[in-house]
Structures are given as structure tokens and as C-alpha cells.
Structure 1
Amino acid sequence: MVNVFSEIAWLSVLAAFVPYFLLGALWFTLLFPTPYKVSLGRENNMPAKPAPIFIIGPAICCLVITIASAVLMYMLKIDSYEGALSFALTVGIGYLIANTVNIAINPNIPRPLLYGLISGAYHLVGIVIVCLILVALK
């Protein structure tokens, strides 16, 4: 069996990771900051400078998701935009949204469905971008 990691186009992984990560910054700070705060029960809190983990953590997670997507797309021989979109929607809805909502359903998040909608939609858009870039630059 060929080592999958040696077959991955790493520049395409980087090119896909960057917009996914940057989308998160835009999504939660410019596009949906108020609904996101409401979902967390923090609509009345003043914005604070985020600790480094709130920047580094999501970056690492986006990178891991991007690498995993590249590996799976390679193994599944996805090489068309249609295939990439189908894969992205399956992973986005079946794993990313479902897991986001599952994580949100706990006593610490007062509006779990709103949180799941906002964060899940981010991940769905993000994975679509990732997969389309990966197939375009393979």
C-alpha cells in the first residue's frame, strides 16, 4: 500500500486550510457575533482579548480536518467538483454539524440549537471550501 501522506498535495492542504481558518474569524467576529454571543448566554459581556488557545486551538482543529479530508478524498479517489461537493456535504452534515450540535447540548451552553446552527453552518461552509480547493489543486 502506498503511503497516503506522501501522495497528498501539501500545498493544496495549506491553500485549503487558510480560508477555512480565516472564515472562522470572519464568521464569529464580523458576520454573526451577536447571535453567537446569545447562543453562549454572553450577549451582555464586553468583548475581551481572546487567550491564545482561542486562536491556536481552532487553527489546529481546522488543519486536522483539512488533512483528514485530503486523506479521505485521496483514498476515495475523489477528483471532480461534484464528488468533492458530495463528500463535503456528507462530512459536513454527517460529522461536523452533528458533532457540533451534540457538543452544544450540555448545561453550559444555554441555547444549544442556536449554537449548533451558527457553528455547524460555519463548519459546513468551511468544509465545502476545503474540499473544492483540494480537488482544484490536487
Structure 2
Amino acid sequence: MLQKISKISWLGVFLSIVFYSFLGWLWFTVLFPNQYASTLDKLGLMPANPDPIYFYGPFLTVIPTIITIALLMATLNINTKKAAIEFALIIGLGFLVANTFNIAINPNIPHPMPYGLLVGAYQLVGILISCLIMVAMKKK
């Protein structure tokens, strides 16, 4: 499997990481900030100046996710838009959304279903578009 690293488009990986990180910022601070805060019972209580980890932490956690996805795509020869969409739906629903709901049912999340739907949708959209980016940038 590690031989497939040479088949990875690192430009596609980089663009996917940037996209996924930007989408997270957009999703949780512009599009759905109140819904997100509400799922945590923090509506009106979110800090005006959050700790820096809330800005660079998601970026850092997206890096291994995208590299792993790129390696799997290379190993499985995912090289068409259709195959990328199918792969993203399998990975997105089977791992990312399922894991998001697993996190959501933690007793510290006051509204697990809305949290799972909101964050799971972000994960699914993020991985879907990232897979399409990586296919578009795939080495010939």
C-alpha cells in the first residue's frame, strides 16, 4: 500500500486540506453558528475570542484524514468522478458520519441528534468535495 504514495497528487491533497478547513470555518461560523451553539446548549455563550486551538486544531486534524483518504483512493484506483462520489459516500457515511454520531451520544452533548446531523453533514460534504478535488488533480 505504501508504494501507492507516489501516485498521490500532493497538490490535490493540499487543496483538499485547505478546502475542508475553509468549509469547517464557513459551516460553523458563517452558515450555522447558532444551530451549532444550540446543539451544545451554548447559544449566546460562545466566546468572542476563542482559544487559538479552535482555529488551527481542525486544520491539523484534517491533514491525516485527507492523506489517508488520498492513500486509499490511490490503492483502490479511484480515478473517476463517479467512483470518487461512491467512495466518498461510503467513507463519509460509514466512518465520518457514524463516528460523529458516536461522539454525539456522549452525555456531554446535550442534543445528540441535531449535533450529529449538523456535524455529520459537514463531514459528508467535506469528504465528498475533497474526493472530487483529489480525482480532478490526480496524476496522469
Q: TM-score range by the shorter chain?
A: over 0.9
2:17 matched to 1:20?
Answer: no
Distance 1:46 1:3 in 2: 45
The residue number in structure 1 matching 2:115 is 115
Contact 2:39–2:115 (Cα < 8 Å) also in 1: yes
Q: CA RMSD in A?
A: 1.3
Alignment of 1:30 with 2:30, yes or no, is yes
Summarize deviations over 1:4-52 as a string: whole Å, max 9, x none.
Answer: 2233111110011111110000000010011100000101315321212
Q: How many residues align?
A: 138
Is the 2:37–2:46 contact (alpha carbons within 8 Å) kept by the matching residues of 1? no
Residue ranges of structure 1 left out of the alignment (5+ in a row) = none
Q: Post-superposition shift, 1:108? A: 0.9
Q: Distance in 1 between matches of 2:82 and 2:6?
A: 25
The two structures have a TM-score, normalised by structure 1, of 0.95
Q: Which residue of 1 aligns with 2:106?
A: 106
Superposition deviation, residue 64 in structure 1: 1.3
**AA of the residue aligned to 1:34:** N
> Following superposition, which runs of at least 4 residues in structure 1 exceed 6 angstroms of deviation?
none
Q: Tell me which residue corresponds to 2:10.
A: 10
Q: Distance in 2 between matches of 1:106 and 1:126?
A: 23
Taking only the aligned residue pairs, the percentage that are identical comes to: 51
